[in-house]
């Protein structure tokens, strides 16, 4: 059934219409009738309610006859001219052995292990040349460095940035790096401070929390080293410090209040405006991660503050502290843009064009859609720096919805889906597995429904969703 | 004697200037300067390719000394004024005349342009008449879905085709760069904030009539700036205002609508045709399918464009689209077929069956 009835408050009833990607306010008896139909009831009184909507062109049956991503037909041309970002796996090694790392051989994730392999200069040059030659129609190019730990090969990072700037003029060039922060020393900070680079440092919170998982190979906690480097940058390279961000992984059984308070105070290293909070990835693992109620209390408390800030009900905190939640709230507006009808040939939302906005290159020069995929996955390998894109493979990766076509065609969350190639890949098969992909659906639908409710609630308060009025 | 001109930055959309170099009025194209990492222009034939010059070589070989005029253009994607700083400083140091396209005024924040010449739209005389004049020569109107759908390319190739058949053409172009070729542009009153809609319509009409009377062309080709519809609420595309203005000023005999690349269904083309009929009062006679794709980037909140290869269009334009009288300007067979059909229609003064 391509619709979803829902409530925001006990006496406010709505239905989401997939075909028109629209939300309608409805009466209680209509809500109850549609709910009955969703639950499999075929009473005439309920069916008549649905028919009344359908007579007005609403809540129509799904018009979709084929699942195909709209970029499929012109994919090779888009990839020929619009690639705007490349991420290099600088090394498969790391000086840490974090407990939750997919590469730490901890039995949680199916992925490669740490190895001594580093990327070589030829691969980097070929990657940069590839990016430049495949970005004729874009105005902003981004080069990012990932790992393992990219700072294991610091000189290559600097050389790559210099090479990139030599290859292109007249376009905005930016750089990024994700690092554990332990090797972010003064000499590197001095060298990169003149580049347009943003650095994401993995920092899980106060010392006790951080050191629980983020340890050196010998078991020592890494907090002191990270803290020292960040403070040094703060004191000596203020411009670079402004470009630091933090990635905080929250693992189950953590002291959540302590983590949030650490950043709320903003006294130590960074405040909430610089932090992305993430739970453990659910990709490439059979494990279930159970987060206690206290985590959701803390997390939802922050999200609630974001809503109150936007509605003008809370003034004590900077808007920037809640940038992530606010971006999420605004993304609802992009998702829920009413349309006159869903095209007959369509694809669920949630998937980007592999290689376009993000092209991940491993140490051997192989192409993957992003850094979150399993590098052992033969499904996800889509070319290399020497031969370019394997367009047929990219096309298969892109059309993740086609493997579950009969389910997706009739799914109410078609335009709200968030299943991407990485989340649909089990890492074992040559092609997408229908059953594996479907196993992700319930969670995705639950999140989509929550987003619908939150968006609707904001509209109830007549929030105008004007981005220019927020200072992020 | 023609002045030697260099264009910076040279990008794909400026290819007509390179390929129609002989058409430049008062100018001889000497260098088409490409910044590092931009287009490679491998497909351009050799005798024109020697005009293409990379920016580094332009500086290292002191090629600025060989030119009289530097033309500054703006590519379709966003650029910062800093990309022009080096070349303009050098041009000023060597006493070269600098011309720039009007789209660069916001890029430069309307400053730093003193002493440079803006390639503005032609100014129109204000008319006192509040009655629209009848245009007594055939008018071919070329509209587009939006920017960068090869409207200009169609205008120039249509001119060329008619001229080869011995006809005298007056082109009133949507692109200010046409002035370099000695063509007219849509008059500047379209940007006026102090004229009423009615006054703008009357001025445009008087402008066209004036050209007809002075030049006595066999046909007027009129390129309409802007797009016919808003793309979305986030990308208004001018709301179709400029086409509405122009279509009220003149009744065309033939209308070509240039569309972005895509495999259009028959129903879709018919809907577009109806929209243009009821919105602008014009009947779309032919559809040009450009090689450019237009997408809205919701993250960057801007329209973005990229191009496909012309072989994609040749392989993928379905049969019904051929019956719906579509063509692509890079495909000489389809293009000349449509142009000859237009000529026959105008000669016979009835639609060809």
Asked if the Cβ–Cβ distance from B306 to A81 is below 8 Å, we say: yes
Asked if the Cβ–Cβ distance from A170 to B9 is below 8 Å, we say: yes
In a mutagenesis test of the A interface, which of B9, B33, B37 is the best target, namely the one with the most A β-carbons within 10 Å? B37
Asked if the Cβ–Cβ distance from A135 to B37 is below 8 Å, we say: yes
Chain B residues with CB-CB distance to A138 below 8 A: 77, 304
Shortest CB distance from B37 goes to which of A77, A169, A337?
A169
The pLDDT assigned to A471 comes to 63
Of A43, A61, A79, which closes a domain? A61
In a mutagenesis test of the B interface, which of A72, A82, A129, A169 is the best target, namely the one with the most B β-carbons within 10 Å? A169
Query: Using one digit for the tens of pLDDT, what is the confidence trace for B284-298?
Result: 999 999 999 998 887
Whole-number percent of chain B with pLDDT over 70: 94
The low-confidence residues of chain B, meaning pLDDT below 70, are 20-22, 110, 125-129, 316-324, 350-353
If you average pLDDT over residues A364-372, what whole number do you get? 95
Whether B306 has its CB under 8 Å from any CB of chain A: the answer is yes
Q: Using CA atoms, how far apart are residues B235 and B305, in angstroms rounded to an integer?
A: 13
Whether B77 has its CB under 8 Å from any CB of chain A: the answer is yes
Of A61, A94, A113, which closes a domain? A61
Asked if the Cβ–Cβ distance from A74 to B293 is below 8 Å, we say: yes
Whether B21 has its CB under 8 Å from any CB of chain A: the answer is no
Whether B304 has its CB under 8 Å from any CB of chain A: the answer is yes
The pLDDT assigned to B125 comes to 65
The pLDDT assigned to B45 comes to 79
- Of A123 and B15, the structure prediction assigns the larger pLDDT to A123
A268 pLDDT tier (thresholds 50, 70, 90): low
A1 pLDDT tier (thresholds 50, 70, 90): confident
In a domain, A455, yes or no: no
Are A260 and A137 in a shared domain? yes
Query: Using one digit for the tens of pLDDT, what is the confidence trace for B84-121?
Result: 999 999 999 999 999 999 989 888 876 777 889 999 88
The pLDDT assigned to B321 comes to 58
Are A54 and A187 in a shared domain? no
Domain of residue A365, CATH code: 3.20.20.70
Asked if the Cβ–Cβ distance from B298 to A74 is below 8 Å, we say: no
Shortest CB distance from A136 goes to which of B36, B38, B293?
B38
A472 pLDDT tier (thresholds 50, 70, 90): low
A438 pLDDT tier (thresholds 50, 70, 90): very high
The pLDDT assigned to A145 comes to 98
Of A13, A32, A61, which closes a domain? A61
Query: Using one digit for the tens of pLDDT, what is the confidence trace for A383-410?
Result: 999 999 999 999 999 999 999 999 999 9
Confidence check: pLDDT of A194 > 50: yes
* Predicted TM-score (pTM) of this structure: 0.91
The pLDDT assigned to B21 comes to 56
ipTM for the assembly:
0.88
Whether A344 has its CB under 8 Å from any CB of chain B: the answer is no
Are A246 and A121 in a shared domain? yes
Chain A residues with CB-CB distance to B312 below 8 A: 74, 77
Are A28 and A127 in a shared domain? no
In a domain, A471, yes or no: no
Are A40 and A184 in a shared domain? no
Whether B42 has its CB under 8 Å from any CB of chain A: the answer is no
Confidence check: pLDDT of A313 > 50: yes
Range of the domain at A373: 70-296+348-431
Q: How many domains does chain A have?
A: 2
Are A413 and A374 in a shared domain? yes
Are A43 and A109 in a shared domain? no
The pLDDT assigned to B128 comes to 65
Asked if the Cβ–Cβ distance from A169 to B293 is below 8 Å, we say: no
Closest Cα of chain B to A159: distance in Å? 18
Are A27 and A74 in a shared domain? no
Domains and their CATH numbers in chain B: 3-118 (3.40.50), 139-348 (3.40.50.300)
Are A188 and A290 in a shared domain? yes
Are A104 and A151 in a shared domain? yes
Asked if the Cβ–Cβ distance from B232 to A78 is below 8 Å, we say: no
Are A134 and A46 in a shared domain? no
Are A51 and A142 in a shared domain? no
Chain B residues with CB-CB distance to A136 below 8 A: 12, 38-39, 306
Whether A311 has its CB under 8 Å from any CB of chain B: the answer is no
The pLDDT assigned to B179 comes to 92
Q: Using CA atoms, how far apart are residues B150 and B76, in angstroms rounded to an integer?
A: 12
If you average pLDDT over residues A157-164, what whole number do you get? 98
């Amino acid at each position: 059934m391509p619709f979803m009835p829902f409530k925001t408050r006990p006496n406010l009833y709505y239905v989401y219409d997939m075909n028109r990607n629209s939300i309608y306010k409805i009466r209680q008896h209509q809500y109850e009738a549609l709910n009955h139909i969703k639950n499999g009831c075929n009473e005439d009184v309920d069916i008549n309610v649905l028919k009344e909507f359908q007579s007005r062109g609403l809540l129509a049956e799904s018009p979709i006859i084929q699942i195909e991503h709209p970029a499929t037909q012109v994919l090779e041309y888009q990839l020929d001219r619009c690639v705007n970002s490349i991420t290099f796996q600088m090394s498969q090694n790391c000086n840490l052995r974090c407990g939750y790392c997919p590469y730490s051989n901890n039995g949680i994730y199916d992925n490669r292990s740490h190895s001594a392999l580093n990327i070589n200069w030829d691969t980097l040059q070929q990657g940069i040349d590839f990016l430049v030659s495949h970005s004729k129609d874009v105005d902003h190019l981004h080069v990012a460095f990932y790992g393992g730990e990219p700072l294991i090969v610091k000189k290559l990072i600097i050389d790559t940035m210099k090479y990139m700037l030599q290859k292109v003029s007249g376009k905005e060039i930016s750089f990024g790096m994700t690092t554990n922060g332990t090797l972010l020393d003064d000499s590197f900070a001095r060298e990169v401070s003149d580049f347009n680079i943003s650095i994401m440092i993995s920092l899980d919170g106060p010392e006790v929390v951080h050191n629980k998982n983020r340890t050196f190979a010998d078991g020592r906690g890494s907090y002191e080293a990270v803290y020292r480097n960040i403070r040094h940058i703060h004191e000596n390279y203020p411009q670079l410090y402004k470009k630091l961000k933090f990635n905080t992984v929250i693992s189950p059984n953590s002291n959540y209040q302590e983590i949030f308070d650490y950043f709320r105070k903003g006294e130590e290293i960074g405040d909430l405006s610089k932090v992305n909070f993430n739970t453990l990835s659910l990709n490439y693992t059979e494990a279930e991660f159970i987060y206690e109620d206290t985590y959701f209390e803390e997390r939802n408390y922050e999200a609630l503050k974001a809503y109150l800030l936007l509605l003008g009900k809370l003034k004590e905190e900077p808007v920037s502290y809640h940038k992530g939640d606010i971006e999420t709230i605004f993304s609802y507006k992009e998702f829920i843009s009413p349309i006159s009808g869903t095209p007959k040939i369509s694809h669920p939302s949630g998937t980007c064009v592999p290689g376009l906005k993000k092209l991940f290159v491993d140490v051997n020069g192989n192409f993957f859609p992003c850094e979150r995929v399993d590098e052992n996955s033969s499904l996800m390998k889509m070319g290399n720096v020497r031969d370019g894109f394997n367009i047929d493979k990219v096309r298969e990766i892109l059309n993740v919805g086609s493997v579950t076509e009969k389910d997706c065609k009739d799914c109410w969350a078609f335009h709200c889906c968030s299943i991407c190639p990485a989340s649909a890949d089990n890492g074992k098969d040559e092609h997408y597995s229908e059953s594996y992909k479907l196993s992700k659906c319930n969670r995705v639908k639950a999140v989509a429904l929550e987003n619908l409710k939150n968006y609707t609630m904001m509209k109830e308060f007549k929030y105008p969703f004007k981005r220019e009025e927020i200072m992020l | 004697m023609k002045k030697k001109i260099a264009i910076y930055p040279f990008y794909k959309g400026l290819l007509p200037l390179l390929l129609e170099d002989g058409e430049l009025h008062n100018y001889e194209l000497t260098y088409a300067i490409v910044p590092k990492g931009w287009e490679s222009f491998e497909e351009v034939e050799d005798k024109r390719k020697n005009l293409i010059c990379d920016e580094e070589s332009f500086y290292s070989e002191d090629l600025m000394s060989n030119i009289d005029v530097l033309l500054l253009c703006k590519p379709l994607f966003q650029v910062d004024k800093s990309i022009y700083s080096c070349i303009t400083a050098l041009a000023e140091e060597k006493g070269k005349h600098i011309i720039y396209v009007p789209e660069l005024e916001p890029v430069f924040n309307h400053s730093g342009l003193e002493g440079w010449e803006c390639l503005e739209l032609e100014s129109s005389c204000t008319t006192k008449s509040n009655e629209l004049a009848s245009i007594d020569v055939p008018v071919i109107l070329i509209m587009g879905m939006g920017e960068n759908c090869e409207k200009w390319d169609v205008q120039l190739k249509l001119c060329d085709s008619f001229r080869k058949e011995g006809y005298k053409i007056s082109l009133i172009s949507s692109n200010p760069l046409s002035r370099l070729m000695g063509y007219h542009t849509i008059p500047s009153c379209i940007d006026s904030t102090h004229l009423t809609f009615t006054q703008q319509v009357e001025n445009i009409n008087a402008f066209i009539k004036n050209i007809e009377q002075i030049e006595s062309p066999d046909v007027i080709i009129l390129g309409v700036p802007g797009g016919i519809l808003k793309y979305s609420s986030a990308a208004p595309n001018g709301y179709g205002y400029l086409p509405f203005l122009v279509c009220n000023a003149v009744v065309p005999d033939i209308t070509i609508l240039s569309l972005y690349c895509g495999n259009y269904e028959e129903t879709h083309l018919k809907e577009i045709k109806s929209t243009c009929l009821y919105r602008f009062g014009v009947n779309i006679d032919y559809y040009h399918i450009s090689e450019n794709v237009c997408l809205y980037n919701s993250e960057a909140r801007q329209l973005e464009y990229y191009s496909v290869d012309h072989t994609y269009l040749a392989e993928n334009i379905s049969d019904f689209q051929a019956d719906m009288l579509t063509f692509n300007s890079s495909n000489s067979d389809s293009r000349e077929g449509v142009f000859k059909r237009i000529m026959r229609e105008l000669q016979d003064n009835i639609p060809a069956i």
